[in-house]
Amino acid sequence: MDDINFLHNSFEQKIINPAIFTDEDEMEQFGLNPRIFIVEDDKVLGLSIKKYLMKTLNCEVELFTSSMDCLSKLMGDPARTKPFCLITDISLEQGADGLLLIDNLKDKGFNFVSIAMTGFASIETAISATRKGVYHYLTKPFELENLQKLVIEAISKKLGIGLAQLKSEVESVSRVRKGGNVKIESPSEEDIFCQMIGRSKVMKDVFERIKKVALTESTVLITGPSGTGKELVAHAIHELSSRSRNNKVSVNCGAIPRDLLESELFGHVKGSFTGAISNRKGRFELSDKGSIFLDEIGDMPHMLQVKLLRVLQNRTIEPVGSTDSVHIDTRVIAATHRDLENMVTEGKFREDLFYRLNVIPIKIPALKERREDIPLMISYFVERFSSADRSNEISFSDKALEMLLSYDWPGNVRELENIIERLVILRGGNEILPEDLPAKIFRHNPLATDHYKHIFELPEEGVDLKRVLSDIEDSLILQALSYTGGNKNQASKLLCLNRTTLIEKMKKKALHI
Strand (E) or helix (H) holding 399: helix 398-406
Q: What distance in Å separates the CA atoms of residue 229 and residue 363, rounded to the nearest whole number?
A: 11
Lowest mean pLDDT: which of 251-255, 285-289, 440-444? 440-444
Q: Which contacts qualify for 203-208: CB closer than 8 Å, 24 or more apart?
A: 203/365, 203/370, 203/373, 206/233, 206/362, 206/363, 206/364, 206/365
Query: How much is the pTM?
Result: 0.55
> Whose CA is closest to 295, among 338, 238, 328?
338
Per-residue confidence band for 10, with pLDDT thresholds at 50, 70 and 90: very low
Does 356 score more than 80 pLDDT? Answer: yes
What domains are defined for the chain?
Answer: 2-167 (3.40.50.2300), 219-358 (3.40.50.300), 373-453 (1.10.8.60), 465-509 (1.10.10.60)
Lowest-pLDDT choice from 29-38, 63-72, 284-293: 29-38
Distance from C-alpha of 124 to C-alpha of 131, rounded to nearest angstrom: 11
Which range has the top average pLDDT, 80-84, 162-166, 283-287?
283-287
Residue 485 confidence (pLDDT) above 50: yes
Residues 460-484: pLDDT tens digits?
Answer: 777 788 888 888 888 888 888 887 8
Helix and strand numbers, DSSP H then E, in the chain: 23, 18
pLDDT band per the 50, 70, 90 thresholds, residue 162: low
User: Quick one: DSSP state of residue 95?
Assistant: S
pLDDT at 95: 63
Tens of pLDDT, residues 209-240? 999 999 999 999 999 999 999 999 999 999 99
User: Cα–Cα distances in Å, from 480 out to 181, 439, 456, 474?
Assistant: 34, 17, 19, 10
